[in-house]
Amino acid sequence: MRLKLVPDNTSWDFFGRLPITLGFSGVLFVGSILAFLFIGLNFGIDFRGGTTIRTEAKVEIDVGAYRDAITPLGLGDVAISEVFDPSFDEDQHVAMVRIQAQGAEESVSPETIRAVEDALRAVAPEIRFASVESVGPKVSGELIMTAIYSVLAAMAAVLVYIWLRFEWQFAVGAVAALVHDVIITIGIFAVFQIPFDLAIIAALLTIVGYSLNDTVVVFDRVRENLRRFKVMDLKDVLNVSINETMSRTLMTSGTTLVALIALIVLGGDVIRGFVFAMTFGIVIGTYSSVFVASAVLLKLGVKRDWSKPDGEAGTQFADVDA
């Protein structure tokens, strides 16, 4: 027996409470902007500056033990990750310890570095410190601007792609959904003060791609149904299209979430922020492809073909019954 997440021939009305869903999205969107402006993001070492210590040992690395040894020093945000490389010897175990900048200092002081090294030697007596590198405020500021440009460039590329593939109304709906997803995800990070680093930027760009994929699937079906149902109101065409793609949407999102939830539980602290951003982004992206992108398309109307018996065709905007 085949598993069915959505019954066949569903006829759910996704726009019956359009003011409520758009109002809910609007509240989240405005709240996220206010949280970003008044609370701010908890920038990680990548964006605040700090010092990275590269360690090497002949015994396996216990990231938890390293973190427990450094925590009493009260250094704030400390990120510890093990480095894997096929070129390493079997007894070569490498870890990166990243410590945030302390106060107004551009890098961690030599005394603090020695204290960290002593704490790690207490856990792994044979540990060796291969290098110490610092990231100053100037470099961190450049990383922030590069991250902003990368997200804006991705959205601009999406706008052009959807515009060329469909009509400009589809492009506006798709980009509105992407902006909605990114801003609300950033707002969640601001409210809960989850560390925000380059890995989160990678997650945001992934969310843009995932949300776009879901939106394009719905829009493709909308375009097909606009040709199929030539006199049906746009609202009804959208409802039919979303119902027809709902099984695929839930199956794709559901299987992805299963993997992400496993990573949240078992992946450890190093990737938890990235996985949380992905998990929340997929949920909000699935929501926005239906209740934001399609709602904007409904409000704008869309050009459609009216084929005539003699083969001639004319175009006009579909009636909007919102």
CB 230 within 8 A of CB 318: no
Amino acid 197: pLDDT? 81
| Local confidence band at 251 (pLDDT 50, 70, 90 cut-offs) | confident
Amino acid 188: pLDDT? 93
Q: What angle do CA 113, 133, 143 make, to 5 degrees?
A: 125
Neighbours of 113 (CB within 10 A): 18
β-bridge partners, 56? 94, 128
| pLDDT, tens digit, 9 for 90 and up, residues 285-300 | 889 988 998 899 888 8
| Local confidence band at 4 (pLDDT 50, 70, 90 cut-offs) | low
CB 238 within 8 A of CB 14: yes
| pLDDT, tens digit, 9 for 90 and up, residues 81-116 | 887 777 777 788 888 888 877 665 656 778 888 888
For 129, the enclosing helix (H) or strand (E) is strand 128-135
Query: Two tokens at 284?
Result: 């909000």
Q: Which of 18-22, 160-164, 283-287 has the lowest mean pLDDT?
A: 160-164
How far apart (Å, rounded) are the C-alpha atoms in residues 242 and 263?
30
Mean local confidence (pLDDT), 245-273: 82
Identity of the residue numbered 116:
V
Amino acid 104: pLDDT? 58
Neighbours of 120 (CB within 10 A): 22
Q: What is the mean pLDDT of the chain?
A: 81
Amino acid 315: pLDDT? 43
| pLDDT, tens digit, 9 for 90 and up, residues 49-67 | 778 888 888 888 888 888 8
Q: Is residue 135 predicted with pLDDT exceeding 80?
A: no
Mean local confidence (pLDDT), 18-43: 91
Q: Is residue 314 predicted with pLDDT exceeding 60?
A: no
Query: Two tokens at 118?
Result: 């002593």
DSSP code of residue 53: E
DSSP reduced 3-state for 318: coil
How far apart (Å, rounded) are the C-alpha atoms in residues 299 and 129?
61
Amino acid 310: pLDDT? 40
End-to-end Cα distance, the chain: 39
β-bridge partners, 317? 303
Q: What angle do CA 277, 64, 41 make, to 5 degrees?
A: 30
Query: Two tokens at 50?
Result: 């700090």
CB 285 within 8 A of CB 214: yes
CB 187 within 8 A of CB 33: yes
The β-bridge relationship of strands 42-43 and 195-196 is parallel
